[in-house]
Amino acid sequence: MRLFLFILFLTSVSTGLLAQNEPIDKNATRETVALYQRLKNSMDKGFLFGHQDDLAYGVGWKYSPGRSDIKDVTGDYPALYGWELGRIELDHSVNLDSVPFDKMKGFIREAYDRGGVITISWHLNNPLTGGSAWQPAPGTVASILPGGEKNALYKNWLDKVASFLADLKGKKGEPIPVILRLFHELNGNWFWWGGKNCTPDELKQLWRFTVGYLRDEKGLHNLLYAYNTDRFSSEEAWLEKYPGDEWVDVAGFDIYQRGPSVEFRQEFGKTLGLLEKIAASRNKIPALTEFGFNGLPDSSWWTQTFLKALEGHQLAYVMAWRNAGNKKDGSHEFYVPYKGQGSAADFIEFYKDGRTLFQKDVTKEKIYQ
């Protein structure tokens, strides 16, 4: 027993000593390492506020240079910008939400130039069936692993993602760091890579193959890798498909409010506690990789629900999902207020709170230097 405890002690000491303060990519560029260290070591400053597709469109407008719903409300841009590559694999010129890829590159450069942080997701089609990301089919993940019938196709898709990512350059020609959010919400059953649609081992293999391909075959060294589940209720559930500490930089989850604020606040707070524990024990960057309360019907949601739940927790960043506005099917979708929206005044209070960081805060920090 004593010997066992001693070994346990030695193991935990050495894990602590080995705890790296750098990205999993040992050849990550200077700016990527700087971003990693900023996210990892400065959570006491507060959390970066992010928004998907922020510069492309908002509620009631599209492609209006310099515009952003967040800026319309607060006078400032978000600190972090989310973009989406779905359909790049098909050589389309616009993504699945109609954002042109060339415009997206411009928005990314613009945000990076003012010190913003970039994260990218990819709702890639089902490579086995040709259906969308939301059309699971048995054997899809297995089919794209090395030796699988669709592995060559998958590599071809990754080549397209890689050339997009390689084309993101700052003013001095330096690659722009990107937090790549692969196979997101992987504990849900809605995507072909998620939940019961593949085994944990298949997903782990796919993750490692993908990271290895982008980093070692394509030579991309401007990436941090984010692993994220949807809402979850135990450490084991979050870890079920986790590919290992040497394959992940950012640990996150997505969560949406769909019921009463009181219940959401409780669940959200509890989940944040779990994530924090996981991230701390594995030396990862904790982040809320997507969140939202569609339509924001609760006028004090930002300060009374969202911020309250975050109290006492540390996160590197949070990212609200997209302000699509009215959609063709008659529904609407938006997760941050636009000017005049019911929660706009409360969002300004949230903006002013010392814990929330927006563009002006990160511009001052000069994260990449």
Which residues would be at the binding site for ligand BMA (CB under 6 A)?
Answer: 84, 96-97, 123, 322, 324, 333
Alpha-carbon distance of 122 to 133, in angstroms, equals 9
Q: Closest distance between ligand BMA and the C-beta of residue 258, in Å?
A: 13
Helix/strand number for the chain, H first, E second: 12, 13
Q: Residue 369 burial (CB < 10 Å; 0-12/13-18/19+)?
A: exposed
For residues 60 and 138, which CB has a smaller minimum distance to ligand BMA in the complex?
60
Give the tokens for residue 59.
């509620």
Rounded to the nearest angstrom, the gap between the alpha carbon of residue 67 and the centroid of all alpha carbons in its chain is 22
Q: Closest distance between ligand BMA and the C-beta of residue 123, in Å?
A: 5
Alpha-carbon distance of 61 to 50, in angstroms, equals 19
List the catalytic residue out of 290, 311, 333, 365.
290
Q: Closest distance between ligand BMA and the C-beta of residue 283, in Å?
A: 30
For residues 202 and 230, which CB has a smaller minimum distance to ligand BMA in the complex?
230
For residues 96 and 272, which CB has a smaller minimum distance to ligand BMA in the complex?
96
For residues 184 and 218, which CB has a smaller minimum distance to ligand BMA in the complex?
184
Torsions phi, psi of 250, nearest 5?
-115, 135
Annotation says 149 is catalytic: no
Q: Closest distance between ligand BMA and the C-beta of residue 324, in Å?
A: 6
DSSP for 206-218, written as a single string: HHHHHHHIIIIIS
Task: Tell me which residue of 46, 43, 40 sits closest to 21, measured CA to CA.
Answer: 40
Q: Closest distance between ligand BMA and the C-beta of residue 186, in Å?
A: 15
List the catalytic residue out of 174, 185, 217, 276.
185
Q: Closest distance between ligand BMA and the C-beta of residue 84, in Å?
A: 5
Give the tokens for residue 277.
């524990």
Which amino acid belongs to residue 233? S
For residues 131 and 170, which CB has a smaller minimum distance to ligand BMA in the complex?
131
256 - beta bridge partners? 292
Cβ neighbours for 202, distance < 8 A, ≥ 6 positions apart: 141, 142, 145
Greatest alpha-carbon pair distance for the chain in Å reads 68
For residues 123 and 169, which CB has a smaller minimum distance to ligand BMA in the complex?
123
Annotation says 217 is catalytic: no
For residues 185 and 346, which CB has a smaller minimum distance to ligand BMA in the complex?
185
Give the tokens for residue 204.
């782990």
Residue 358 near residue 319 (C-beta atoms within 8 A): no
CA dihedral 283, 286, 289, 295 (to 10 degrees): 170
Q: Closest distance between ligand BMA and the C-beta of residue 9, in Å?
A: 46
Q: Please state, in angstroms and as integers, the Cα–Cα distance from residue 239 to each residue in 16, 74, 249, 274, following that order.
A: 20, 38, 14, 11
Cα R_g (the chain), whole angstroms: 20
Residue 221 near residue 25 (C-beta atoms within 8 A): yes
The residues assigned a catalytic role are 185, 290
